[in-house]
Amino acid sequence: MLRPLAAALLLSCAALSAANAQTIYPIDRADILVGAKFDFKVEFDGLVDRAAFAVTVSGEDAAKLFGKAPEFVAREDNKDQSALLLRDVALSKPGRYEVSVSDGKTSKKLAWNVFATGPRQAKNVILFIGDGMSGAHRVAARLLSKGMTEGKAHGKLAMDSMPRMALVSTAGSDSIITDSANSASAYATGHKAATNAMGVYADRTADPLDDPRVETISSLAQRRLGLGIGIVTNTEIEDATPAAMVAHTRRRAEYDSIVAQMFDAKPDVILGGGSANFLPKGAPGSKRKDETDFLAKFRDAGYTLASNGTELRSLGPDTKKLLGLFHLSNMDGALDRKFLKAGSVGRYPDQPDLTEQVKTALDVLSKNPNGFFLMVESGMIDKYTHLLDMERAVYETIMLDNSVKLARDWAAARGDDTLILVLADHTHPVSLIGTIDDDMTTTPNVPLRERVRVYEKAGFPNYPAADAQGYPPRVDVSRRLAMFSASMPDHYETYRPKLDGPNEPTSPGQQPGTFTANEKYKNVPGAVLRLGNLSALINASVHSGEDVILTATGPGSERVQGQLENTEVFRVMVEALGLGHGEQN
Ligand SMILES: [Zn+2]
């Protein structure tokens, strides 16, 4: 028995050393939909003689299998490194594909799983993403919008009362912690990606736009089935989550290129903030680095434009292509828009609610007889949680739930032909630990931390009854939810909702690139300085790596159960749409 074991060890050592020799994209164990396009790339560590290397896929020469000759890059990025690139290829038969690459001295092997789907089950798919939505956000949204007595809530959230549920793991190809780019990309493409990357495998070259691409569900749905495509958010439309539905870049900050890619992709409905990168350089508020006027380009391409809630509500009945941009940057959250009139609401008094955006998107997209794919993001849950502004984050969760309810009612009225998924892209390390007992009228002579009530002393919060949309009209009540993040920069904890605008926990520190506690809150009665547990280079709370909750209803939702990789969410959607059924070319 000794000999075979030694031989096996030797083999695995050889495989290990060879593993450093080449990098292959798509990566090992990638799940690839039949017929979906991708770029195949091999990066060799050093210079390779073109005549010496061999690339086979399941024993067949790659060029022959894919039907085109690879591009050989003798010196990539002007360094002593060669590469091989085959763009826009696809595999039309399901099965396991062994990829083998040799440069004559070292070799590497990996395998892909190419999968087909069953026949189409759903006419439409709606993917709701609560950016950064964690367990505490959901529970707090339920408490505030439904109320609770004696431990029992007076109702369920629309997203909680769905028949299917799963845990979704969110790690990226480079890290256990994901950002919104690679997490949204996993849903949109079925491939794991690296932090900051969407629609690509981040390669070693400096160019953030040349990385090997994988096809998005938007492209597949348009190309194969003629579906309408909708992208709805309340953040900048170029931000990671909405952008990942159509764009390909390893650097999510490439806003100008993302706008251009969005124009090329031509989604039927685009609604959100972020008009700054649509305006030509020099126009007031523009952040573009060139003179292209993308509002004019979209208009010339047949899009109806809307810039505020009134315009969104008064669209003509024959609107088929819609671009609504309601803010130069991120839109304001529900707490500011509806109640506090803080943030930038003074400058943008007529921003639509996410529910209005969703309703309009459904109106426009449902005119497509082939069906549609719609992504809706409540994106400010994440932004506010980064800022340790828990009240605002919870109101954004309620807004997401209102949008889910609207879509569910819409789908039910049509006889449930629509797969609806609700999930987050990643979590925040935020927890509900009790209540804060403080009437905010007196100056406390002890730090407010002594008024954080836990266990039986926490009792129940006393927010006023929610309005028809599920929002309590006030958050500055005398028994408030105590929600804290386990990750934090140095900041002043005031234990109070910020009524004058979103929290700003940090300000620039003395050393360039560092951050320090924002002195603005130093003299708030009862405030305490909290020393952070993050590097001084980080100005806000960060994401965490727990699984997110996915709930689902409608045709194709049966696959939502147990624990899924985030890439499997793509598979749930393409199975529902039958995007890999029958002959695929
Ligand atoms: Zn975030």
pLDDT digits 0-9 by tens, 269-297 = 999 999 999 999 999 999 999 999 999 99
**11 in a domain, yes or no?**
no
Looking at the structure, tell me whether residues 55 and 102 fall in a common domain. Answer: yes
Residue 403 contacts residue 377 (beta carbons within 8 Å): no
Average pLDDT, the chain: 94
Q: Is residue 208 part of a domain?
A: no
CATH assignment of the domain containing 34: 2.60.40.10
The alpha carbon of 191 and the centre of ligand 1 are apart by a number of angstroms equal to 20
Measure 330 CA to ligand 1 centroid, in angstroms. Answer: 13
Q: Are residues 224 and 297 in the same domain?
A: yes
φ, ψ at 331 (rounded to 5°): -70, 160
Given 115, 147, 170, the domain boundary residue is 115
Q: Does one domain contain both 363 and 481?
A: no
How far apart (Å, rounded) are the C-alpha atoms in residues 100 and 92?
A: 19
Helix (H, G, I), strand (E, B) or coil at 140: helix
Q: Cα–Cα distance between 390 and 12 in angstroms, integer?
A: 50
- Supply 503's token pair: 């929290």
Q: What distance in angstroms lies between residue 177's CA and the mean position of ligand 1's atoms?
A: 11
One domain for residues 175 and 39: no
pLDDT value of residue 17: 37
CA 337 to ligand 1 centroid distance, Å: 21
Last residue of a domain, one of 115, 134, 150: 115
Q: How many CA atoms lie within 13 A of 288 on its CB side?
A: 23
**CB-CB neighbours of 76 under 10 Å:** 18
pLDDT at 218 over 70: yes
Going from the Cα of 466 to the center of ligand 1, the distance in angstroms, rounded, reads 28
Residue type at 54? A
Pairwise CA distance, residues 584 & 134, whole Å: 38
Average pLDDT over residues 104-126: 96
Q: How far apart are the CA of 283 and the centre of ligand 1, in A?
A: 29
In this structure, the answer to whether residues 131 and 189 fall within a common structural domain is yes
Would you place residue 3 in the very low, low, confident or very high pLDDT band (cuts 50, 70, 90)?
Answer: very low
* CA 489 to centroid of ligand 1, rounded, Å: 15
CB neighbour class for 326 (10 Å; exposed up to 12, middle 13-18, buried from 19): buried
Say if residue 15's pLDDT is above 60: no
- DSSP-derived 3-state class of residue 281: coil
Give residue 572 CA to ligand 1 midpoint distance, Å.
25
Average pLDDT over residues 395-400: 99
Q: Model confidence over 232-274: pLDDT tens digits?
A: 999 999 999 999 999 999 999 999 999 999 999 999 999 999 9
Confidence of residue 21 (pLDDT cuts 50, 70, 90): low
3-class SS of residue 403: helix
Residue 149's pLDDT is what? 97
Between the CA of 542 and the centroid of ligand 1 the distance, in Å, is 7
The pLDDT > 70 percentage for the chain reads 96
Is 356 in the same domain as 489?
Answer: no
CA distances from 372 to 126, 217, 261 (A): 8, 11, 20
Is the domain of 572 the same as that of 425?
yes
What pLDDT is attached to residue 7?
37
Going from the Cα of 168 to the center of ligand 1, the distance in angstroms, rounded, reads 17
475 in the same domain as 388: no
Average pLDDT, stretch 96-123? 95
Residues 308 and 414 in one domain: yes
Confidence tier at 24 by pLDDT (50, 70, 90): very high
Compute CA distances 519 → 85, 515, 576, whole Å. 53, 12, 52
The more confidently predicted of residues 105 and 495 is: 495
Please check whether residue 40 lies inside any domain of the structure.
yes
pLDDT in tens, 39-54: 999 999 899 988 888 9
Domain boundary among 97, 115, 133: 115
Q: Is residue 584 in some structural domain?
A: no
Q: If you count them, how many residues does the chain have?
A: 585
Q: Judging by beta carbons within 10 Å of its beta carbon (0-12, 13-18, 19+), is residue 169 exposed, middle or buried?
A: middle
Q: How many CB atoms lie within 10 A of CB 468?
A: 6
Model confidence pLDDT, tens digit, residues 306-338: 999 999 999 999 999 999 999 999 999 999 999
- Cα 181 to ligand 1 centre (Å): 9
Span from the CA of 456 to the centroid of ligand 1 (angstroms) = 33
Position 585 in a domain: no
Give domain status of residue 564, yes or no. yes
What is residue 442's predicted lDDT score, i.e. its pLDDT?
74
Q: What is the pTM of this model?
A: 0.95
- Pair 160, 173 in one domain: yes
Question: Which pLDDT belongs to residue 584?
Answer: 56
How many A from CA of 437 to the centre of ligand 1?
Answer: 30
pLDDT of residue 14: 35
Q: CA torsion 44→45→47→51, rounded to 10°?
A: -30
Residue with tokens 């070319």: 585
How far is the centre of ligand 1, averaged over its atoms, from the C-alpha of 118 (Å)?
Answer: 35
Dist CA 176 CA 481 (whole Å): 30
Cα(384) to ligand 1 centroid in Å equals 9
Orientation of helix 180-189 relative to helix 217-225, angle to 10°: 30
Give the residue carrying structure tokens 């208009």. 299
For residue 583, what pLDDT is reported? 66
For residue 477, is it within any domain? yes
Q: Does the pLDDT value for residue 574 go beyond 90? A: yes
Range of the structural domain that residue 359 is part of: 124-202+216-430+543-577
339-362 pLDDT per residue, tens: 999 999 999 999 999 999 999 999
Find the 241 Cα to ligand 1 centroid distance in Å.
10
In a domain, 537, yes or no: no
Residue 72 has pLDDT above 90, yes or no: yes
If we measure between CA atoms, which residue out of 530, 519, 540 comes closest to residue 493? 530
Are 461 and 496 found together in one domain?
A: yes
What DSSP element (H or E) covers 250? none
Q: How big is the CA angle at 72 (ends 67 and 74), to the nearest 5 degrees?
A: 175
pLDDT confidence band for 178 (50 / 70 / 90)? very high
* SS3 of 19-51: CCCEEEECCCCCEEECCCCEEEEEEECCCCCCC
What is the domain-level CATH number for residue 195?
Answer: 3.40.720.10
User: Separation of 379 CA from ligand 1 center, angstroms?
Assistant: 9
What are residue 529's DSSP bridge partners? 492
Burial of 534 (0-12, 13-18, 19+ CB in 10 A): middle
Written as six digits, the tokens of 405 are 């309810």
- Is the pLDDT assigned to residue 394 strictly greater than 70? yes
Give, as residue ranges, everything with CB less than 5 Å from ion ligand 1.
Answer: 382
3-state helix, strand, coil in the chain (%, to 5): 30, 25, 50
Look at residue 582 in the predicted model and tell me its pLDDT: 86
CA 568 to chain centroid = 15
Rounded to whole angstroms, what are the CA distances from 153 to 45, 156, 172, 350? Answer: 59, 7, 36, 34
- 407 with 551, same domain: the answer is yes
How many domains, in total, are found in the chain? 3
Summarised one tens digit per residue, pLDDT across range 433-471 is 999 998 877 776 777 888 999 999 999 999 999 999 999
